[in-house]
Amino acid sequence: MPWNIVARALFVAAVAWAAALLRPFHPLTPVNGSIGALLGIIVVLIETRLRETEVTDLLGALIGGAIGLGLAKTIGAALFWADATDRRVGFLHSFILLVFPYLGIVMGARKGEWLQPQRLVGLFRDAGPQKRYRILDTSVIIDGRIADVCETGFLDGTLVIPQFVLKELQLVADSGDSLKRNRGRRGLDILQKIQKMAGVDVMISDIDFPEVREVDLKLIELGRTLQGKIVTNDFNLNKVAQLRGVSVLNINELANALKPVVLPGEFMKVFILKEGKEYNQGVAYLDDGTMVVVDNARRMISKNIDIVVTSVLQTTAGKMIFGRYIEAPAQGPVAAVTTAPAASGGATARMPNAK
């Protein structure tokens, strides 16, 4: 048997036993015990309902009830001049003593969420607009597209560049691998470009978390501290940050969302770049990098052709468009009818004149 059921049963029995001993309701002991047990059951029912209530709502109800009781006592004390023997005055005292605690309990329970720590801290903050922080990670800086997004003005708020991200960029720029070195230097150039943009607020953050070793986890902790969003194109960081309750702005998702919408049956002009994997297929690419697979276009490599879209496939890596090249109908020989004079009888002969 669960301990809470045992505790409730003991509580009801204790109330019934106290009522049976003291007999406050009736001279007979069984009647008092029954009334005491009924009161104990009512208290247990109220307790089960209160268990589902938020702690802040309970605390708000207690504080509101205490304030209401204090107001009722203050108003009752202010009516000292009234005749206490008058029944109307006595009812007024009782009414005030019941109304104000009731209102305090109800209003305190409804506004209990204001006792949450973040709400209490918000009461003492500046009433002005709060800064919105956008924390850049290493991958999105090296990618370079973040500079174009900032230049267009679609990314608002303060761009935060942590010191540990700058340190990682410097390590990449100093790498012995030429490819990594070029990527790191490109990232540093992108940061300089962003800092020189007008209207873009850039902040270098010195906040570090020495107990955390991985850069991705440091970014998540910084996002929690600043209550900002992480700007990245790292798929794994995106998932881990969302699991830990930190918002993420993914540049790849933005790029996929901005790709043109193509519907089956539409016509479009593409440049066939190479062969496809299947027989008689050609592959083309749109300006945004979307792959277009065209049937019946293998012999049209290095040519601009008109195709009709047959289907569109959306994958986690992006969007693929499938189309078909419709060849122009070949013009066959056209028969021309000529008339020549007959040899005799005035008849005419019809002869085809092939081109």
State the total domains in the chain.
Answer: 3
- Summarize pLDDT for 254-285 with one digit per residue, the tens: 877 777 778 888 998 999 999 998 888 999 99
Are 235 and 275 within one domain?
A: no
In a domain, 263, yes or no: no
* Enclosing domain of residue 288: 269-355
Are 229 and 339 within one domain?
A: no
CA distance 173 to 179: 9
Are 32 and 105 within one domain?
A: yes
Helices (H), the chain: 3-22, 29-50, 55-78, 87-110, 117-123, 138-143, 145-152, 163-173, 178-195, 215-226, 235-243, 251-257
> Looking at 92, 117, 142, which one is the last position of a domain?
117
> Looking at 213, 236, 257, which one is the last position of a domain?
257
Q: Which range, of 39-43, 112-116, 188-192, 234-238, averages the lowest pLDDT?
A: 112-116
In a domain, 187, yes or no: yes
Are 104 and 176 within one domain?
A: no
In a domain, 123, yes or no: no
In a domain, 112, yes or no: yes
Residues 6+ apart with CB under 8 A from 196: none
- Summarize pLDDT for 202-240 with one digit per residue, the tens: 999 888 888 888 889 999 999 988 889 999 988 888 899
Res 341 pLDDT > 50: no
In a domain, 186, yes or no: yes
Are 187 and 288 within one domain?
A: no
Are 187 and 280 within one domain?
A: no
**Model pTM?**
0.49
